[in-house]
Amino acid sequence: MSSSRTTIRDVAAQAGVSVATVSKVLNARYGVSAATQARVQQVIDELGYQSSIVASSLRSHRTGVLGVLVADLEPFSTELLKGVAAAVRGTGYELVIYSAGGRSGERVGWERRYLSRLGGTLIDAAVLVTPTVVDADHGLPVVAVDPHAGAASVPTVSADNQRGARLAVDHLLGLGHHRIAFISGWPGLESTRLRHEGYRASLAAAGVPLDADLVLEGDATQERSHVLALDLLQRPERPTAVFAGNDMAALGVLAAARELGIAVPEQLSVVGFDNVPEAVMATPALTTVEQPMQAMGEQALRMLLELLAGGTPASRVVLDTRLVLRHSTAPPPF
Amino acid sequence: MSSSRTTIRDVAAQAGVSVATVSKVLNARYGVSAATQARVQQVIDELGYQSSIVASSLRSHRTGVLGVLVADLEPFSTELLKGVAAAVRGTGYELVIYSAGGRSGERVGWERRYLSRLGGTLIDAAVLVTPTVVDADHGLPVVAVDPHAGAASVPTVSADNQRGARLAVDHLLGLGHHRIAFISGWPGLESTRLRHEGYRASLAAAGVPLDADLVLEGDATQERSHVLALDLLQRPERPTAVFAGNDMAALGVLAAARELGIAVPEQLSVVGFDNVPEAVMATPALTTVEQPMQAMGEQALRMLLELLAGGTPASRVVLDTRLVLRHSTAPPPF
DNA sequence: TTGAAAGCGCTAACAG
DNA sequence: CTGTTAGCGCTTTCAA
């Protein structure tokens, strides 16, 4: 606030030239004599002048910055960001990250609002992480990671969710479990649907009838899953295993079991999805399906750069998942 | 690009009013009849119009967004961000994160450049994480986390680094180690200096003479530490323990030891600092000093809000550290 | 209650 | 090579 920032006019005045000339040296344009160039540059340094990215981008419609939009900074998006950050290095672009801050109320469509408020003026292109809406209509290049179901014309990158879920449930089945509950992630996400599908496919392949009461709709948060699990685990015929749609939900289940005095894995097996760093720290360490989050971030950024360069990246990239065995699963009791 | 975005003029034209009027309804200003108000709003909805945050902030000099500037998205800053994001929830502010992308060349002072390019127009205030320069001169409210040495007038939050380092070295000393090397973090950071100080103080208190050859200057990256450790561990009289200035550096030491066939902790003890999630996943799991990264982030944001509200937060908040024992330390061999 | 006009700080023609 | 002239999309007096 206050103490008015030094503007291009201050520099111009001080150097005894026009603002246009200053702008030219700022942007290394042709048509400035070495002498003026030097003089202006000196004044710039003296005054510690920095051009306002806002003003310049308002005018020039390009900014040299790429945006990543995440709904919240939970472990999944955080891992993904590391990959994006790694991939942007050395490209000459800068990275800014927008977090909606996890406000649930206005969650749907927030990325569209952001995009149109920022696009063309503040960022040149964007990676959307678990977007709720994906249409091509916002004028700038966009790549979506783990998108909402029904993604349209935007290039997407995701993990092999369906296969990952099958790996998880096959593992539980293999241990001898039959009553396997499923707590889903954010409804609407393609990944949620596919994991659910994998769960059903796995049961079907093993000839285990689906019990609809064992399928719960969560929202990928630990809190919600905790509440759901508290109820689930107090039923007369509780499941012997839970496949949670993501790791944070699995941690919620672990917490609920602990409160109810149910031992994991002796009396209850739990499998997660993602393999976030937190999964290892859980007690017991969580058996989970790993999706290559950092690689997904890198991939998304590479596709964005290709788009920016006028190319046409693959419209849909799917990376592999694999099961990571730790200590939250065991054969069922009795 | 292309397909020119809908502007306030489009809305005005469509609604048959002036842009001034549209602006008023956008900002809920007085002096608009209910009828026009409604009509304009309807056109806004129809057109899916979103005001450009850039244009509006250029004019009004306030944005409702808070910035966090991090040099890179490594595990430490990432954990911190989670805390900041948690604290911003429900405040009505939005959060944007700028990452310099770890470009080392222009590392020093980058936050000053960003700050003046963004300040007043793109963000209303900022949290700086491990800033290399901290002066009060950039016109907007700022709080620094883990700042450069010699921090001036800016409120800061940090962990008790000196005590943390003492805990680590005391632990090694207690196990019977005498030849304890120290690999420091980014030179210039206050935390680096204090951890070094703690290291020396601990040795001094135990009457162990300081061996200057065992103090190496790192930069907090795994790569650099790896190189340093490779040399260190091949010396004729190699140390029996290494205290790394941060966890990533400790992981670099672990990697070097593995390559050289030196068993940890049997032949070499290693202690880190931070307790990032990665520390648990290391082989062996890393004994380290925990600093409450998320709490530090929350604290910083709270102080920023206080500043924004016109208050005067504590100029220096220091949070506790504690030693986390895992499996990378043991008594020295022989 | 409304709108015309004057910028915010900068860039992009176009003249000189 | 340099400066003048128009704006970018929006907010904000200030008249009407």
The C-alpha angle A73, B300, A274, rounded to 5 degrees, equals: 20
Residue A43: pLDDT above 80?
yes
Q: What percent of chain B has pLDDT over 90?
A: 63
Q: What pLDDT digit, counting tens, does each position of A136-181 carry?
A: 666 788 999 998 876 577 899 999 999 999 999 999 999 999 999 9
Sort out which chain A residues have CB atoms less than 8 A from B97's CB and list them: 96-99
* Averaged pLDDT, A132-139: 66
Q: What's the Rg (C-alpha) of chain B?
A: 26
pLDDT for res A155? 93
Confidence tier at A290 by pLDDT (50, 70, 90): very high
pLDDT confidence bin for B167, thresholds 50/70/90: very high
pLDDT at A2: 34
CA distance B97 to chain A (A): 5
- The residue-averaged pLDDT of B297-319 equals 93
- Pick the closest to residue B224 from B63, B81, B102 (CA basis): B102
Angle B118-A119-B57 (CA atoms, 0-180°, nearest 5)?
A: 40
Neighbours of A209 (CB within 10 A): 7
Chain D: nucleotides below 7 Å from protein CB are: 1-5, 7-13
The reported pLDDT for the residue numbered B1 is: 33
| Chain-chain contact of B101 with A119 (C-beta, under 8 angstroms) | no
Q: Distance between CA atoms of A99 and A121, rounded to whole angstroms?
A: 18
Poorest-confidence range of A191-195, B13-17, B111-115?
A: B111-115
| pLDDT exceeds 70 at position B19 | yes
CB B135 within 8 Å of CB B111: no
Nucleotide nearest to B120 (CA to C1'): C8
Asked if the peptide bond before residue A284 counts as cis, ω within 30 degrees of 0, the response is yes
What integer is the mean pLDDT of B110-131?
Answer: 78
Could you report the per-residue pLDDT of A220-229, keeping only the tens digit for each?
989 999 999 9
Residue A231 predicted with pLDDT over 70: yes
Contact B142, B115 (CB under 8 A): yes
pLDDT tens, residue by residue, B79-114? 999 899 889 877 878 888 887 766 545 556 677 777
Q: With CB atoms and an 8 Å threshold, state whether A96 touches B96.
A: yes
A98 touches chain B (CB under 8 A): yes
pLDDT digits (tens, 9 = 90+) for B61-73: 777 888 999 887 7
Query: Which pLDDT score is estimated for A260?
Result: 97
* Per-residue model confidence (pLDDT) at position B140: 83
Q: How far apart are CA A291 and CA B301, in angstroms?
A: 32
A42 three-class SS: helix
More confident residue, A151 or A321: A321
**For residue A4, pLDDT beyond 90:** no
Closest in A54, A100, A277 to B122, CB measured: A54
pLDDT tens for each residue of B207-223: 999 999 999 999 998 99
Q: pLDDT digit string (tens) for B44-64?
A: 988 888 888 778 878 877 778
CA closest to C1' of D8 belongs to A59
pLDDT at A207: 97
Instruction: Say whether B116 and A82 touch across the interface (CB within 8 A).
Output: no
Top pLDDT among B79 and B290 is at B290
Q: How many CA atoms are closer than 13 Å to the CA of B76, on its beta-carbon side?
A: 24
pLDDT band at B2 (very low <50, low <70, confident <90, very high): very low
Q: Is B223 on the interface with A (CB under 8 A)?
A: no
Q: Does B117 touch chain A (CB under 8 A)?
A: yes
- Asked if the peptide bond before residue B277 counts as cis, ω within 30 degrees of 0, the response is no
Yes or no, beta carbons of B94 and A72 under 8 Å apart: no
Q: What 8-state DSSP symbol labels residue A323?
A: E
A141 within 8 A of A67, measured Cβ to Cβ: no
- State, as a whole number of angstroms, the distance between the CA of A3 and the C1' of C7: 19
pTM recorded for the entire structure: 0.78
Contact between B82 and B294 (Cβ < 8 Å): yes
Cβ(B180)–Cβ(B214) under 8 Å?
A: yes
